[in-house]
Structure formats: structure tokens, C-alpha cells
Amino acid sequence: MTPSQVEANKQQFLSLCREHIHREGIEKVLAYLENSDFFTAPSSTNFHLNEEGGLCRHSINVFETACKLYEHIALPAIRSGQSPFTEEIPLESIAIAALLHDVCKVKFYHKVEKWKKDAHNKWVSYPGYEVRDDFPFGHGEKSCLMLGWYMRLKPDEMLAIRWHMGMFDMAENGSSQRYAFYAATEKSALVNIIQSADSLSAKLLEQTTVFV
């Protein structure tokens, strides 16, 4: 991603937050993010958008995908009575849960020099990232905690952010966490929308950079 693309994504992110989120404390959240590496960090080390600026772009992708899922699938089902959920979801809640679901990745990825063998079996270096978690408090739950330092989240928003990884966060957890995840999906439509939007964005919209 070029510096101009990184900057354009930053301005789009800030604009979306200010347009759709009017909760007390949002400016404090944005000030924190602007003084962190949120807008230059990758979205992962070896997977989707593992490049500079990837985290911000991924957050925008999840918001845009969540809005489409809600507008074209969830909302018509709710209004027609077809859905098990009966309450419509405020756009502000979708924006909060989607745009801010990965704030836990602030100061999480650090640039390092990595090595691999090339086609001629010679070692070559390439730029990459490694994880250094100075506050190991989980993933979605860490985002909820960090946002809670600056603004109040509604229960549905907390559940959606906490469980946005879905079953990808379940591999090493016991049955109690699996039951909690399933219960959350039955309790809040927002949980399903954000989890689906996160997965679809990462798998269908975002490429992985392969360093040679």
C-alpha cells in the first residue's frame, strides 16, 4: 500500500466514524488511534492485508460489508418477520462494532527482518512483522476493554466485538466458550453480522502479500 493510499484510508476511516458514531467519547477513541500505529499497522503477519495500512483498510472493509449484509439480508428478514430477531439495529452500533472491532491490534505488530530460501535455495531477507503483545488480554475482549476506557458500549456491541472471530477463536478453548459463542449468536443479530463481515472481508476482499 502506498503512503497516499494509507493516508486516504485514514481519512476515510475518520470520516466514517464521525459521520456514523455520535457516542460520547468517540473523539477520545480517535485521538488515541491517531497517536498510535492503528493507521499504519498491518491487519495480520502472514494472512489478509499483511502490509502497512492493512489494519485500517480491513476495518473499513468490515464496516462496508456489514452494512451490505444488514441492508440486503438482515433488515428485510427482520421487517418481514422471517428472522428470529425482531429489533432493527442502529447504524451507529454497526459502525462501532465494525470500525473498532480490531483496536486490540494497536501496538501489536512490529516490523522485523525475516528470512526465507529463494528458488535457488539461497537465504534471502524480506521485510515482515512479528507479534509482540505487551498486554495479553485476548482478542475481541481486549478491544472491548480498550474501547471501554474512552466510551460506553451497548451490550450488543460488546458481544459483537468480543465474538467477531467466531470459531477461529475457538481452537484452544473449552466447551464453555463454544457455548458462550453460540449463545451470543442467538442473543444478538449484530454478533452474526460482524462475525460474517469480518470473515468475508478477510477471505474474499483482502489479499496476502507474498514476499520473495
* 210 domain residue, yes or no: no
Q: pLDDT averaged over the chain? A: 92
* 212 domain residue, yes or no: no
- Residue span of the structural domain in which 150 resides: 3-106+137-205
Report the distance separating Cα 9 and Cα 59, nearest Å: 10
Report the distance separating Cα 75 and Cα 190, nearest Å: 11
Q: For residue 5, how many C-alpha atoms fall within 13 Å in the half-sphere facing its CB?
A: 8
Confidence of residue 127 (pLDDT cuts 50, 70, 90): confident
* 181 domain residue, yes or no: yes
* 192 domain residue, yes or no: yes
* 124 domain residue, yes or no: no
Q: What angle do CA 199, 202, 207 make, to 5 degrees?
A: 160
* 61 domain residue, yes or no: yes
Q: Considering the entire predicted model, what is its pTM?
A: 0.90
Q: Cell numbers for 124, please give them.
A: 534471502
* 117 domain residue, yes or no: no
Contact indicator for 31, 118 with CB cutoff of 8 Å: no
Tell me how far CA of residue 26 lies from CA of 19, 30, 74, in angstroms: 11, 6, 26
Domain count of the chain? 1
Q: What is the pLDDT of residues 94-106, one digit of tens each?
A: 999 999 999 999 9
pLDDT value for 121:
83
Q: What is the mean pLDDT of residues 95-124?
A: 90
> Is residue 174 over pLDDT 80?
no
Q: What is the pLDDT of residues 14-47, one digit of tens each?
A: 999 999 999 999 999 999 999 999 999 999 988 8
* 190 domain residue, yes or no: yes
> Is residue 8 over pLDDT 80?
yes
Report the distance separating Cα 16 and Cα 11, nearest Å: 9
